[in-house]
Structure 1
């Protein structure tokens, strides 16, 4: 029997990642992508892909190569029967931060530079105390961390977990939360949706969908079943 966990994620720091760039504005969409959540929740086994301790720590804290390895990292979760949905905002506030730096050129003789060209930009971030919600489906019981790090600034966030008791059904239903379209279109018939443009894979929400799903006595929520990570 599948275990389903409802996770509430509350920010304790500003959250920033560049969903889109509009001129000098770098905007953070109030949605957490399911790929990012897999890494943040510690579900990706970094030891599997490292041959030395140094490589393991390098992978965990920064990427020496700007080459995504989502298929390599997330396919083992399919084998373990673990799937994380993207997280929607329960409530959030945005903050706008302006940054500025100067291009300073130095000479060995410490001569005065001829040019000082300032540069600036604005980052739209998600404020502390904002809350997000996602679901984790697993073929085995999971122990999830209470604290995680998210985004470019490795922002601290608290995770609260509630286990749900599902029953399996099939039919036509609407799922208002965000979904990764690559993970549901092979097992379900997607009838209509709204698009959320964001890297690395644009998401869909307010999805009218037909296929197998999990329902719950305590709520009207219906979650698509048989979701797996798939890649282009």
Structure 2
């Protein structure tokens, strides 16, 4: 049985990651990549979700090397039929943070840091209270077995995002009775093109350039899709592609 959940993410701290680098300006796009959400939500290398990876690729706080292993990590989510879509902004504001050394007496010679982390310059970050929205599709229920908990979901109530490990709060809404349909449809949310292009025919879309894989949005495509409504009184219907899987080549 396919379970679909709407996940809303509210920032409690400034969110930063380098989507674009323009000189010494490092800009954060108001979209959360689905790769990062898989890690933040705790789906990767988890006994709870049966996605534990091989020891040499183990995802731990102290990693042997700072090289992402998306293929080795996310392939196990495919086996458990867990998929997270990229998150779009429901509401956001940006703030600009600047670093500079105004006096040569206090000049600091900084070592080269990790990729995508600036040593000096300006960061355009997403401000607290900004909200994002994504969908989680899973064959297994994400509800806890015991109903006595205040937080009824297996997912964490608070997560960390971005280069600064910014705190964010999530809320979950279970979508009931999704309808399966086939034909031409439009999906306005961001998508990872690698995950849908082999199971659906892409007709038109807008590209969002961001690492590690550029996303697409306002997508018109042809294929199987779920049609859902966020509540009983809502007239707006949302179409979500079927058979999305993490692909890397």
TM-score tier, shorter chain, comes to: 0.7 to 0.9
Distance 1:103 1:192, change over 3 A: same
Q: Which has the higher helix share?
A: 1
Give per-residue Cα distances to partners, 1:100-135, cap 9 Å, x unaligned.
353349xxxxxxxxxxxxx84000000000000000
1:154 counterpart (147, 165, 177): 165
Runs (5+) with no aligned partner, structure 2: 102-106, 111-118, 143-153
Distance 2:98 2:155 in 1: 35
Distance 1:147 1:63 in 2: 23
- What's the TM-score, normalizing by structure 2? 0.81
CA apart distance, 1:64? 4.1
Equivalent residue, structure 2, for 1:75: 75
CA apart distance, 1:144? 1.4
Q: Which has the higher strand share?
A: 1
CA apart distance, 1:21? 0.4
- Indicate the SS of the match to 2:77: helix
CA apart distance, 1:60? 3.5
Pairwise CA RMSD: 2.0
2:217 counterpart (188, 194, 205): 205
Distance 1:4 1:73 in 2: 22
The 8 Å contact of residues 10 and 132 in structure 1, kept in 2 or not, is answered as yes
Equivalent residue, structure 2, for 1:87: 87
Distance 1:50 1:189 in 2: 34
The 8 Å contact of residues 96 and 122 in structure 1, kept in 2 or not, is answered as yes
- What's the TM-score, normalizing by structure 1? 0.87
- Indicate the SS of the match to 2:75: helix
Larger Rg computed on CA atoms: 1
Number of aligned positions between the proteins: 215
Q: Does 1:66 align with 2:66?
A: yes
